[in-house]
Structure 1
Amino acid sequence: MNKRILIVTQDIGDEYTQKIKNLVPDWELIVGKEKDIWAPYANKAEIIAGWKKELEELSLHGRSELRWVQAWSAGVNTMPLDKLNSQGITLTSANGVHAYPISETIIGLMLALTRKIHTYVKNQQERKWHHAHMNLEMHGKTIGIIGVGEIGSETAKLAKAFGMRVLGVRHSGKAEENVDRMYTPDELHQVLPECDYVVITLPLTPQTFQMFGEKEFKLMKKSSFLINIGRGEIIKEEELVVALQSGEIAGAGLDVFSKEPLEVESPLWDMDNVIITPHTSGSTEYYTKRVIENIFLPNLVHYLDGKQLPTNLVDYTKGY
């Protein structure tokens, strides 16, 4: 009888490999980042943890035995959701893994823009002693968190440490601890004029695609800062450039872009009021630990018992 196959397309180390093996001792467990390691088994795999674009051709066909995919990222918008859905394949995301590192990045970008840290780093490189017209504080200001999930909730908690007023936007409109007032997406235009900081933590879906453009930037305060760690396509990038150049908004901290890597010709690179990070806000030394221990292993236990997976089950109708 052929063994059931579980593939992990990541280098997770001996400790986590053994923890998985302990749950599926009779399965064939394939672990490794290189394609040569997992590709020969892809067409027979029942579970795949860590999606690669090559797997669409290798795994999603008429003979596929695939039943569950554990994404290695919180966002699943680049995956073949329609094919996965049509074949009845369960999909879980890595949502929640990023709450600490990304909320730290958000606060870091807010502080850097407010206290001109990025400007002072440039001045240091030029050995230039200059005040740079420093005059802003974060304490007591208003932050609008557009997308209050795991990351947004953690950001709200940190913002409260600065005595900030926290406004939130989420699809359900459900209240959240540390959020002073919650809104729904159709109330976004009510939120923007009140905010000193607008933080986008949304997934990319048909509803959030190009959600922010000229109209939204004009509604924001001229003194406000925009932080985007969601997805670049949520913003109309050319209109953001105009808003930054014209002074419609004061500045931006951007970790994601419509096209990545950000093209060298982009005017965003040369703007003094912009901080760019290369889609690294979720990078953390604990990434593998959190995906395996907090999401994959608990879900695997339920899968083996024939139960619905309890953690981060993706709703194909919503796209997240």
Structure 2
Amino acid sequence: MASRTMIITESLSQQKVDQIQQYIPDWNIVVGKETEIWKPYVKEAEIIAGWNRRIEQEVLSQDSNLRWIQSWSAGVNSFPLEQLKVREILLTTASGVHAYPISETIFAMMLGFTRNIHTYVRNQLKKQWDDTNLKLEIHDKTIGIIGVGEIGLETAKIAKAFGMKVIGVRNSGKQAKFVDEMYKTEQLPTVLKQCDFVIVCLPLTKKTHHLFGKEQFKQMKSTAFFVNIGRGEIVDENALISALRNGEIAGAGLDVFEKEPLQEDSPLWDLENVIITPHTAGSTAQYDQRVIENILIPNLKNYLSGNDLTINLVDYHKGY
């Protein structure tokens, strides 16, 4: 019997490869980011962990053996979802592995704004001693978490340690631990006017594209801070820049942008009420290990047994 093939388009240590190999000892596992490593095996690959646009044309052809893709990222908006749906190829995401680093980034931004750390860093570079009219605290404020998944839940848990009121938004409206009030997406205006911090943790779909625009920023308090760690295209960037310049909101912490890398001529770079990170909120030394141990291997066991994949299976109808 010919061996079955898994491609992993990531740079993994041999220890991690061996960890996967023990569950599929007779499989050929091809590992590496470079095209020349995996290209000869694309057509025969039954499982691909990771993704690369150069793979797309090959795996969508009729003679491809592909049955399951394990994304190495939480977002799947860059995948050819419609074609994968037609081909009945399973797609699972890395949702959940980012909960710790991203929630920490969210609070780094929030604390940076309330304690003026971003301003003090600029002043340090200029050797300037200035108290910058420091007044704000996080304690007892209201945080709105737009998209209560794993990241949102971890953020809510930390927020309660600060004594914050936590308002959540999710499509189902289903209640969740650490969330004081839960709303549905269509109730967003009700949420925005209450929040001192608005945190976007949503995936990018047709419904969430430019969910935040001119109208939404006007609905926020002028003293509120906006943080986006979801996807850049969820926000109308021009509307955000206008809101920041006109004082409609107090500031913005941004890890994601409509076009990445953020263009050098973007006004966001020069706005003093903006904190920018280069799409690194989810970066952590534990990333690969969590994908492998918490998602890939448990799903692999089910796949080999002919059972449904139970972790992070994408619903093509919803787009996530």
Q: Which residue of structure 2 aligns with residue 39 of structure 1?
A: 39
Secondary structure at the counterpart of residue 182 of structure 2: strand
Q: Which residue of structure 2 aligns with residue 76 of structure 1?
A: 76
Alpha-carbon separation, structure 2, partners of 1:144 and 1:242 = 22
Q: Which residue of structure 1 aligns with residue 29 of structure 2?
A: 29
RMSD over aligned CA atoms reads: 0.6
- Specify the code of the residue in structure 2 equivalent to 1:183: Y
Q: Which residue of structure 2 aligns with residue 259 of structure 1?
A: 259
What percent identity do the matched residue pairs reach?
A: 57
- 1:241 Cα deviation (Å)? 0.3
CA-to-aligned-CA distance 1:258-310 (integer Å, 9 cap, x gap): 00001111100000000000000000010000000000001001100000011
Alpha-carbon separation, structure 1, partners of 2:20 and 2:254 = 37
CA-to-aligned-CA distance 1:139-192 (integer Å, 9 cap, x gap): 000000000000000000001111000000001100011100000000000000
| Contact 1:44–1:59 (Cα < 8 Å) also in 2 | no
- Specify the code of the residue in structure 1 equivalent to 2:140: G
Q: Which residue of structure 2 aligns with residue 243 of structure 1?
A: 243
Alpha-carbon separation, structure 2, partners of 1:319 and 1:15 = 34
Secondary structure at the counterpart of residue 140 of structure 2: coil
Alpha-carbon separation, structure 1, partners of 2:25 and 2:8 = 15
- Specify the code of the residue in structure 2 equivalent to 1:260: E
- 1:2 Cα deviation (Å)? 2.3
1:133 aligns with 2:130: no
Q: Which residue of structure 2 aligns with residue 315 of structure 1?
A: 315
Alpha-carbon separation, structure 2, partners of 1:189 and 1:148 = 17
- Specify the code of the residue in structure 1 equivalent to 2:229: I
- Specify the code of the residue in structure 1 equivalent to 2:137: E
Alpha-carbon separation, structure 2, partners of 1:193 and 1:57 = 46
- 1:70 Cα deviation (Å)? 0.2
Secondary structure at the counterpart of residue 39 of structure 1: helix
Alpha-carbon separation, structure 1, partners of 2:95 and 2:157 = 18
- Specify the code of the residue in structure 2 equivalent to 1:42: V
Q: Which residue of structure 2 aligns with residue 216 of structure 1?
A: 216
Alpha-carbon separation, structure 2, partners of 1:33 and 1:65 = 20
Alpha-carbon separation, structure 1, partners of 2:317 and 2:246 = 39
| Contact 1:196–1:221 (Cα < 8 Å) also in 2 | yes
- Specify the code of the residue in structure 2 equivalent to 1:192: L
CA-to-aligned-CA distance 1:110-151 (integer Å, 9 cap, x gap): 000111101001101110000111111110000000000000
Secondary structure at the counterpart of residue 179 of structure 2: coil
- Specify the code of the residue in structure 1 equivalent to 2:189: H
Alpha-carbon separation, structure 2, partners of 1:205 and 1:144 = 20
Q: Which residue of structure 2 aligns with residue 292 of structure 1?
A: 292
Structure 2: 5+ residue stretches without partners: none
Secondary structure at the counterpart of residue 82 of structure 1: helix
List structure 1 segments (4+ residues) > 4 angstroms apart after TM superposition. Answer: none
The normalised TM-score by structure 1 is 0.99
Alpha-carbon separation, structure 1, partners of 2:253 and 2:284 = 19
| Contact 1:200–1:230 (Cα < 8 Å) also in 2 | yes
Q: Which residue of structure 2 aligns with residue 115 of structure 1?
A: 115
Listed as ranges, the matches of 1:99-110 within 5 Å are 99-110=99-110
Q: Which residue of structure 2 aligns with residue 166 of structure 1?
A: 166
Q: Which residue of structure 2 aligns with residue 12 of structure 1?
A: 12
Alpha-carbon separation, structure 1, partners of 2:275 and 2:20 = 40
Secondary structure at the counterpart of residue 158 of structure 1: helix
- Specify the code of the residue in structure 2 equivalent to 1:121: V
Alpha-carbon separation, structure 2, partners of 1:286 and 1:35 = 25
| Contact 1:222–1:247 (Cα < 8 Å) also in 2 | yes
1:48 aligns with 2:48: yes
Alpha-carbon separation, structure 2, partners of 1:243 and 1:94 = 33
Secondary structure at the counterpart of residue 23 of structure 1: coil
| Contact 1:255–1:277 (Cα < 8 Å) also in 2 | yes
Secondary structure at the counterpart of residue 30 of structure 2: strand
| Contact 1:201–1:229 (Cα < 8 Å) also in 2 | yes
Alpha-carbon separation, structure 1, partners of 2:162 and 2:25 = 50
Aligned length: 320
1:302 aligns with 2:306: no
CA-to-aligned-CA distance 1:178-226 (integer Å, 9 cap, x gap): 1000000000000000000000000000110000111111110000000
- 1:58 Cα deviation (Å)? 1.8
Alpha-carbon separation, structure 1, partners of 2:255 and 2:31 = 30
Alpha-carbon separation, structure 1, partners of 2:275 and 2:19 = 40
